[in-house]
Amino acid sequence: MEEDLLDNSAGFAALGLRSELLKALSDLGYEEPTPIQREAIPPLIAGKDLVGQAATGTGKTAAFALPLLQGLEPRESGSPAALILVPTRELAEQVSQATHRYGRDLGVRVLPVYGGQPISRQLQVLRRGVDIVVGTPGRVLDHIERGTLQLGEIRAVVLDEADEMLDMGFAEDIEAILAETPEVRQTVLFSATMPPRIDAIARRHLREPLRIRMGRDTAAADTLPRVRQSAFLIARAHKTAALGRVLDVEAPQAAIVFCRTREEVDEVTQSLNGRGYRAEALHGGMSQDQRDRVMSRLRAGTTELLVATDVAARGLDVEQLTHVINYNVPSAPEAYVHRIGRVGRAGREGAAITLAEPREQRMLKAIERLTGQRITAEKLPTVTDLRAKRLELLRTTVHEALEDDDLDRFRPILELLADDADIELIALAGLKLLHDANGGDVDEPEIPTVSPGRERESRPRDASGGRYDDDRRGGPARQRSSGNDTTRLFVGLGRRSGLRPQDLVGAITGEAGLPSRDVGAIQITDRFALVEVPESAAERVIRSLQQTTIRGKRPTVRRERFER
Ligand code: AMP
């Protein structure tokens, strides 16, 4: 095995977690604690009550589950020692699975209970004995009333997504459940928002709780570069497909895709390679040597995509990066800021694109608040968009080739062909061949999109555990935000001349004095490039680029010819 130079478990070990938990975390590929974990775990291990303001995506589940697991003692009794209340059945399943995974080496018995699941199975497991129950308030109360769940030995209660539970009308159920638990216990409350009603619950049921809140550090935002920031809302099941689609449309010169865990890094790398990208994994489990090799391949251009964890990407300084892609919303707004600081350096072009699950919208909002910059919610490009994009590029490629002074040598072939076919037909065949050579038709299924929405209000009150399904909340998604006041310029230099997006941005900002945020999408093909600039600055950009050299050449620069 490679030496683990980053000593990844140290971060969690420093929080005082026992070795079985550290091993589970390392096996899961967690490289370091998230901010909320760093703050919450030590006091929770010490037995303190805690009120945490944290949304989904911050790593809050591990923040409360790990200390619960740490505190479990081997017991004879089959009645649970810890109870986690959550608003929905999905969350009950998720939290239960996560807790089970973290506690694997401790032999912990975790049971999710929610409405809609056959009660007989729950009864069976309850009879055999459990350590931790994760349930929706309605179904938990059901079990208490039936006498099938005793809470007399509960030592810790977690109220997860407390604001959601109140919104769903679970306040009374929660009170009734808490009344069944021993008075001396540890109580933990997590909530994305802190309305007065939550405060009231905390005052009534928690003892001198420690309060922690995420996303208050605004210092990092000062250094934020101006890069194009956007987000795609996408259900978890479609994320890999969505990532591929986004990359196909963006066609980044060099990008880094951030993942949460090593495992995710490996999965995503594999899937991208399967899609024909040259992607390489970069994570903390790799030796310095391996990582150096990956980095030099990126610099040399043999790798176009890095798939990395935050830890592995720390200190990484690559000039070529044009895109930062967050495969998930980062666990803290500060992490987002650090990530996107890797593009758009020194006035260069950059884009930061985030794939967010509908539940993570709140984190996106928190990031917008911290950075004071908008993250535009965009509609995932459809197969039709992708096809249109390929055809458009085909059209531009051929259009530019018309100016080539090297066309005459093909005339004899054309004349031979024209003996038995119409010139138009020959042209069409030529187009088809070129199109096929460029990868041909896009033939892949559509990816269902999710509309940015008011997630909370759309949930029904459902005493059996409110169920909602992200995929079903369809509806029109927001349109792309690019305004009509931009225009595309043609630059007669392409990849073959070694042109990189930053060369263009550098030239435009340097020569025409345009701020880099005004430089829009850049597309580079083998022989030419297209760049979007504000219509109002187009003439100025053209004039100044015509008088400068890029990559040692003085390229043709003009408006793109045909109407779009
Ligand atoms: P949560 O905010 O609890 O819903 O967690 C969001 C996601 O982050 C889950 O998929 C977790 O598995 C993952 N996660 C939690 N803590 C860490 C960590 N320290 N490193 C990497 N991934 C994590």
**Mapping DSSP to helix (H, G, I), strand (E, B) and coil, where does residue 390 land?**
helix
Which of 8, 261, 326, 363 should be mutated for ligand 1, with most atoms under 8 A from CB? 261
More confident residue, 24 or 3: 24
Full domain range(s) for residue 198: 2-214
pLDDT in tens, 371-423: 888 898 888 888 888 888 888 888 988 988 888 888 999 999 999 999 999 99
The answer as to whether 470 is a domain residue is no
Q: Ligand 1 centroid to 98 CA: how many Å?
A: 9
Q: Ligand 1 centroid to 58 CA: how many Å?
A: 7
Overall average pLDDT of the 433-437 stretch: 89
Q: Which of 190, 214, 238 is the last residue of a domain?
A: 214
Q: Are residues 182 and 63 in the same domain?
A: yes
Residue 261, ligand 1, Cβ within 6 A: yes
Residue 34, ligand 1, Cβ within 6 A: yes
Q: How many domains does the chain have?
A: 4
Kindly give the number of the ligand 1 atom that is closest to the alpha carbon of 57: 2
Q: What is the pTM of this model?
A: 0.69
Which of 15, 30, 32, 359 should be mutated for ligand 1, with most atoms under 8 A from CB? 30
Give yes or no for residue 490 having a pLDDT over 60: yes
Overall average pLDDT of the 19-41 stretch: 94
pLDDT in tens, 160-206: 999 999 998 999 999 999 999 999 999 999 998 889 999 999 999 99
The answer as to whether 332 is a domain residue is yes
Q: Ligand 1 centroid to 335 CA: how many Å?
A: 13
CB 243 within 8 A of CB 259: no
pLDDT in tens, 67-90: 999 999 877 788 999 999 999 998
Kindly give the number of the ligand 1 atom that is closest to the alpha carbon of 32: 19
Residue 56, ligand 1, Cβ within 6 A: yes
Give yes or no for residue 134 having a pLDDT over 70: yes
Q: Which of 437, 472, 504 is the last residue of a domain?
A: 437
Q: Ligand 1 centroid to 27 CA: how many Å?
A: 14
Q: Are residues 507 and 392 in the same domain?
A: no
Spatial separation of the C-alpha atoms in residues 307 and 264, rounded to whole Å: 9
The answer as to whether 207 is a domain residue is yes
Q: Are residues 198 and 285 in the same domain?
A: no
Q: Are residues 291 and 338 in the same domain?
A: yes
The answer as to whether 454 is a domain residue is no
Q: Which is nearest to 38 in space by CA: 24, 54, 23?
A: 54
pLDDT reported for residue 451: 67
Q: Are residues 60 and 175 in the same domain?
A: yes
- Using CA positions, which residue lies closest to atom 20 of ligand 1? 30
Distances in Å between the Cα of 522 and the Cα atoms of 165, 231, 429, 530, 558 are 46, 18, 29, 6, 15
Q: Are residues 193 and 133 in the same domain?
A: yes
CATH number, position 264: 3.40.50.300
Confidence of residue 562 (pLDDT cuts 50, 70, 90): low
Spatial separation of the C-alpha atoms in residues 356 and 327, rounded to whole Å: 8
Q: Are residues 251 and 372 in the same domain?
A: yes
Q: Are residues 252 and 355 in the same domain?
A: yes
Residue 231, ligand 1, Cβ within 6 A: no
CATH number, position 505: 3.30.70.330
Beta strands 305-308 and 376-378 are: unpaired
Q: Which of 214, 245, 263 is the last residue of a domain?
A: 214
Q: Are residues 376 and 251 in the same domain?
A: yes
Strands (E), 192-329: 210-213, 228-233, 255-258, 279-282, 305-308, 323-326
Q: Ligand 1 centroid to 551 CA: how many Å?
A: 44
Which of 331, 339, 360 should be mutated for ligand 1, with most atoms under 8 A from CB? 331
Kindly give the number of the ligand 1 atom that is closest to the alpha carbon of 33: 19
Q: Ligand 1 centroid to 514 CA: how many Å?
A: 40
Residue 58, ligand 1, Cβ within 6 A: yes
The answer as to whether 98 is a domain residue is yes
Beta strands 323-326 and 255-258 are: parallel
Q: Are residues 237 and 342 in the same domain?
A: yes
- Which residues, at least 6 apart from 407, have a Cβ–Cβ distance to it below 8 Å? 401
Q: Ligand 1 centroid to 297 CA: how many Å?
A: 30
pLDDT reported for residue 387: 85
3-state secondary structure 133-202: EEECHHHHHHHHHHCCCCCCCCCEEEECCHHHHHHCCCHHHHHHHHHCCCCCCEEEEEECCCCHHHHHHH
Give yes or no for residue 346 having a pLDDT over 60: no
The answer as to whether 371 is a domain residue is yes
Q: Are residues 231 and 146 in the same domain?
A: no
Q: Are residues 389 and 377 in the same domain?
A: no
The answer as to whether 334 is a domain residue is yes
- Using CA positions, which residue lies closest to atom 18 of ligand 1? 30
The answer as to whether 265 is a domain residue is yes
**Paired tokens of 54:** 């944290």
Residue 52, ligand 1, Cβ within 6 A: no
Mean pLDDT rounded to a whole number for the chain: 84
Overall average pLDDT of the 81-101 stretch: 95
Confidence of residue 484 (pLDDT cuts 50, 70, 90): low
The whole-angstrom distance between residue 413's C-alpha and the CA centroid of its chain comes to: 51
Q: Ligand 1 centroid to 261 CA: how many Å?
A: 8
Residue 373, ligand 1, Cβ within 6 A: no
Q: Ligand 1 centroid to 62 CA: how many Å?
A: 7
